[in-house]
């Protein structure tokens, strides 16, 4: 009878890992356990089986096992008790293993695990990174104990097929490097794309009707103007929805973005009107002008509503006060420009502004999620603010510059955000009050072509959470 690696993982890993990860990530232990047992470990083992299905892949795995002696399994609880640096190191290790076992399928698997267990995407991502070294450690220990070579490893992994399939939920195919997950994700993307296309057609059709009524019986050139104006107007309406949704982050810059689009609309209409000399075009331009004014007005309303909503969110977050905690803030020496100083200015200034705060004195070791020296005091001060305002929840966002591999940069940015969360938890902040996300090189604030710009882009930011 063959061994069952998933049963071994359940006995040796799942319980301790679920308990430690639940406390660290601020998620229910039941959801963590479901994610690990039904989704993550079967999928990771399926990826290992896929890679070990050839002599070349099995040889690569044997070499990788040399760096995983299984010692990590002996004190999983102590790992989480060791603070954020220990967990960040575990996740950095896990990122490399995920790349080896699952390649570019990680993103789709993260989404499917989150849906399966009812977890946040960031939690699912972190769990995958935590679980991967555990699997490598356990299989590596078994391989050494039994003296398995390439053929022995291939046979052992192939014997796990029935166990892996039995552990996964119905319709979930964890084999072939999670091909089933990718297929499901692709279907979801296709469906979403079709929905967006249908919605876009409705918007353009509505705009075309308005402009068509104004144009009347125009010549062919006039009809081209109507079509062009309709397309531009439709895109303008779409832009209001998209940019309005991001207005909290962009801080009310939507109108500055939209106006060039409307100017282009007007210029195109007048240009074709001049070229054709068609009188109906003038009417079309007038109607397009009405559409433009309506869209600008709508955009202004959206920005105003979002700004008002952001202020309400801030007031709610800082509404409840722990008097003892607030008094403790009196003794804090805020470094100039620090995230804590920015937050206190935001509170004392009546919650005016974007509500985005950047760490300016927090550093990490190069290429690592380990916080450098005493720069973590800036994180400790955030913990004191959160102790003073018990209803405050935050989002911690990690960013890198554009140097190097994009996928690894995103993993590093997430690991650094998790390191900040880990330090906050160690200071007494409940994990459920802190959400994390890594954006890699997205949303740069400096020029990546210069060292100064790259330094600006390597940052951690905080926003107020819900």
pLDDT digits (tens, 9 = 90+) for 443-458: 999 999 999 899 999 9
Q: How many CB atoms lie under 10 A from the CB of residue 333?
A: 9
What is the Cα–Cα distance from 308 to 289, expressed in whole angstroms?
Answer: 29
Helix (H, G, I), strand (E, B) or coil at 36: helix
* Lowest mean pLDDT segment, chosen from 43-47, 48-52, 311-315, 405-409: 311-315
Reported confidence tier of residue 420, pLDDT bands at 50, 70, 90: very high
**Taking Cα atoms as reference points, which of 427, 393, 420, 429 lies closest to residue 318?**
393
Write down the pLDDT at residue 118: 94
Assigned CATH topology for domain 318-464 = 60s Ribosomal Protein L30; Chain: A; (3.30.1330)
- Tens-place pLDDT, residues 193-241: 444 445 444 444 444 444 445 444 444 544 444 444 445 444 443 443 4
Write down the pLDDT at residue 217: 44
The answer, yes or no, to whether residue 358 has pLDDT greater than 70, is yes
Cα four-point dihedral sign 256, 257, 262, 267: positive
Q: Where are the domains of the chain?
A: 5-172, 194-304, 318-464
DSSP secondary structure letter of residue 334:
P
% the chain with pLDDT above 70: 70
- Residue 228 vs residue 6, higher pLDDT: 6
Write down the pLDDT at residue 208: 44
Reported confidence tier of residue 298, pLDDT bands at 50, 70, 90: low
Write down the pLDDT at residue 95: 83
Write down the pLDDT at residue 108: 84
Contact 237, 262 (CB under 8 A): no
- Residue 298 vs residue 313, higher pLDDT: 313
What is the Cα–Cα distance from 42 to 281, expressed in whole angstroms?
Answer: 64
Residues in the chain: 466
- Residue 260 vs residue 334, higher pLDDT: 334
- Residue 181 vs residue 14, higher pLDDT: 14
Write down the pLDDT at residue 352: 83
User: Can you say whether residue 118 is alpha, beta or left, with left for phi > 0 and alpha for psi between -120 and 50 degrees?
Assistant: left
Helix (H, G, I), strand (E, B) or coil at 2: coil
Write down the pLDDT at residue 364: 92
Query: In degrees, to the nearest 5, what angle opens at C-alpha 278 toward C-alphas 276 and 281?
Result: 105
* Lowest mean pLDDT segment, chosen from 15-29, 237-251, 331-345: 237-251
The mean pLDDT value for 432-439 works out to: 93
Query: Backbone phi, then psi, for 437, in 5-degree steps?
Result: -155, 140
What is the Cα–Cα distance from 416 to 394, expressed in whole angstroms?
Answer: 15
Write down the pLDDT at residue 189: 41
Per-residue tokens: 82: 């060791």
The answer, yes or no, to whether residue 243 has pLDDT greater than 60, is no
Q: Write the CB contacts of 136 (distance below 8 Å, at least 6 apart in sequence).
A: 64, 65, 68, 97
The answer, yes or no, to whether residue 357 has pLDDT greater than 90, is yes
What average pLDDT is seen over the chain?
A: 77
- Tens-place pLDDT, residues 174-187: 764 444 443 444 44
Query: Backbone phi, then psi, for 356, in 5-degree steps?
Result: -120, 130
Contact 286, 226 (CB under 8 A): no
- Report helix, strand and coil shares of the chain as percent, to nearest 5: 75, 5, 25
Reported confidence tier of residue 251, pLDDT bands at 50, 70, 90: very low
Element (H, E) at 463: strand 459-464
Write down the pLDDT at residue 293: 59
- Tens-place pLDDT, residues 138-157: 999 999 999 999 999 999 99
- Residue 202 vs residue 342, higher pLDDT: 342
The mean pLDDT value for 291-316 works out to: 58
What is the Cα–Cα distance from 322 to 328, expressed in whole angstroms?
Answer: 10
The answer, yes or no, to whether residue 244 has pLDDT greater than 60, is no
Write down the pLDDT at residue 313: 75
Reported confidence tier of residue 433, pLDDT bands at 50, 70, 90: very high
What is the Cα–Cα distance from 13 to 18, expressed in whole angstroms?
Answer: 8
What is the Cα–Cα distance from 144 to 141, expressed in whole angstroms?
Answer: 5
Reported confidence tier of residue 336, pLDDT bands at 50, 70, 90: confident
Beta strands 459-464 and 394-399, pairing class: antiparallel
């Amino acid at each position: 009878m063959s061994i069952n690696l998933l049963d071994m993982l359940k006995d040796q890993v799942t319980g301790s890992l679920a308990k430690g990860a639940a406390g660290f990530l601020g998620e229910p232990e039941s959801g963590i356990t479901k994610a690990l047992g039904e989704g993550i470990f079967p999928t990771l083992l399926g990826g290992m089986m896929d890679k070990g299905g050839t002599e070349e892949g099995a040889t690569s795995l044997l070499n990788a096992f040399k760096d995983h002696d299984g010692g990590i399994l002996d004190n999983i609880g102590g790992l989480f008790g060791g603070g954020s640096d220990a967990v960040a190191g575990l996740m950095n290790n896990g990122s490399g293993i995920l790349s080896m076992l699952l390649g570019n399928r990680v993103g789709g698997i993260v989404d499917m695990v989150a849906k399966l267990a009812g977890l946040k995407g960031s939690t699912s991502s972190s769990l995958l990174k935590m679980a991967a070294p555990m699997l490598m450690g356990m299989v590596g220990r078994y391989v050494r104990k039994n003296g398995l070579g390439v053929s022995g490893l291939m046979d052992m992994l192939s014997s796990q097929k029935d166990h892996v399939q039995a552990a996964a939920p119905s319709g979930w195919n964890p084999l072939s490097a999670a091909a089933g997950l990718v297929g499901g994700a692709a279907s979801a993307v296709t469906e979403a794309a079709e929905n967006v296309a249908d919605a876009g057609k409705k918007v353009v059709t509505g705009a075309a009707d308005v402009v068509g009524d104004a144009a009347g019986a125009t010549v062919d050139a006039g009809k081209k103007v109507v079509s062009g104006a309709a397309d531009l107007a439709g895109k303008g309406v779409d832009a209001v929805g998209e940019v309005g949704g991001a207005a909290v982050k962009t801080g009310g810059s939507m109108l500055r973005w939209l106006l060039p689009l409307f100017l282009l609309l007007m210029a195109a209409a007048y240009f074709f009107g001049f070229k054709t000399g068609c009188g109906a075009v003038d009417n079309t331009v007038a109607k397009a002008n009405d559409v433009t004014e309506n869209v600008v007005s709508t955009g202004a309303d959206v920005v105003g509503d979002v700004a008002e909503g952001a202020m309400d969110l801030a007031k709610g977050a800082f509404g409840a006060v722990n008097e003892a905690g607030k008094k403790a803030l009196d003794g804090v020496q805020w470094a100039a420009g620090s995230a804590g100083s920015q937050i206190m200015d935001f509170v004392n200034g009546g919650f005016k502004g974007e509500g985005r705060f950047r760490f300016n004195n927090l550093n990490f070791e190069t290429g690592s999620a380990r916080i450098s020296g005493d720069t973590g005091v800036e994180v400790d001060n955030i913990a004191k603010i959160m102790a003073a305002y018990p209803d405050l929840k935050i989002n911690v966002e990690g960013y890198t510059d554009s140097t190097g591999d994009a996928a690894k940069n995103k993993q590093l940015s997430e690991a650094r955000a998790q390191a900040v969360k880990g330090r906050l938890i160690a200071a007494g902040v409940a994990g459920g009050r802190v959400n994390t996300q890594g954006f890699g090189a997205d949303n740069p604030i400096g020029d990546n072509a210069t060292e100064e710009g790259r330094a600006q882009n390597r940052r951690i930011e905080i926003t107020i959470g819900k």
